[in-house]
Structures are given as C-alpha cells and as structure tokens.
Structure 1
C-alpha cells in the first residue's frame, strides 16, 4: 500500500475516495528514559530513548491507519498528516496520530 503526504501519487490517479482513516498510539515515558534525558539535557546530545519512543509510536499509528485503509479496500492513503502531543498532568504520555484519505487508484 502506498502511504503519502501528498494529495496525489505517481502510481495512479485517484479513482475513488473511500474516506478518512486514522491510527493512534499512546506511549508512556519510562522513568529511566526520563532520567537519562535529563542527563542528556545537562551535558548535551540527543535523547535516544525519546527518539526511539517517537519512532515506535509513529510506526504504530501509521500501521493502524494502513490497516484501516486495507479493510476499506484502499490502494493508497494520501494527504497523510502526523500529529504529536503530550498527555497527562505531567506530560508523561506521548500520543501520535496519523490520519489521511484512503483511496482507490486507477490508470
């Protein structure tokens, strides 16, 4: 399945719009990841634990979106948008949402 942020894809013209599809992932920040991120902030560098968590959450959200599109019989999801939010009273949860339009492609 083709996943694109663009409104069109080179693989074919949109012949039918099937609807909006989405996927979400919420991941809690781990106490040790928070500790090491704090150290990284002090000494500089990248926060690898958070980067891995972001990638994992993004991959889950995209997979859920793709699965929903597949159930509709889509060939592609176009206009994909990714949103990142923190949740919870102390911002300890990360939510990633992927949304786009499921479509059938024609010649």
Structure 2
C-alpha cells in the first residue's frame, strides 16, 4: 500500500477517490515504565519509554487505516496526517487519517 502525505503521487495517476480512512489507538505504558518516564521528566534525558509507546501506537493506527483502505479496494492513501492527544498521564491517543484512492 502506497502512503504519502501529499495530495498526489509523483508519476502516478489517481483514477478515483474512495473516501477518508482512519485508524486510531489509545495506548498506555505499564506502571514501571511510567515511573521511569516520570523520573526522567524530573532529571532530564531522552524519554525512550514514551517514544516506544508512540511508535507502537502509530504502527497500530497505520495498520488499522490500511485495512480500511484495502476494504474499499484502494491502492494508495494520499494526504496522510497524524494527530495525537494525551488522554491522561501515561496514555495517549494516536490517530492517522488520509484519503483512500484507486490508481491507474
């Protein structure tokens, strides 16, 4: 599945727009990693525990969006955008959305 954050794909003609598709997930780290992340927040440093959580969340959301696009018969997703929000301390929502398209 081709995914781009532009309105078109260089060298490819879009035949038909199939609609907006999205994927989202809410993730939380277990208490141990949350405590380590909280400690790093106090003393400084790279917060790998939360980076890992966001990576996992993004992957899950992307897979969900791609599945929805495949169900529509899409070959690609254009104009892909990501958004995230904090639900509560230690958990976050990641949403990805774009337009599913059929290409020639």
TM-score, normalised on structure 2? 0.92
Contact 2:34 2:90 in 1 (8 A): no
Write out aligned runs for 1:3-42 (5 A): 3-42=3-42
- Structure 1 residue ranges (4+ consecutive) displaced by more than 3 angstroms after TM superposition: none
1:76-101 CA distance string (max 9 Å, x none)? 000011110111xx444211111100
Name the CA distance, whole Å, in 2 between partners of 1:40 and 1:6: 36
Query: What is the aligned residue count?
Result: 104
Name the CA distance, whole Å, in 2 between partners of 1:66 and 1:44: 37
C-alpha displacement at 1:66, in angstroms? 0.4
| Uncovered stretches (5+) of structure 2, i.e. residues with no partner | none
For 2:100, the equivalent position in structure 1 comes to 102
For 1:54, the equivalent position in structure 2 comes to 54
| Uncovered stretches (5+) of structure 1, i.e. residues with no partner | none
**RMSD over aligned Cα, in angstroms?**
1.3
Name the CA distance, whole Å, in 2 between partners of 1:82 and 1:91: 20
C-alpha displacement at 1:11, in angstroms? 4.6
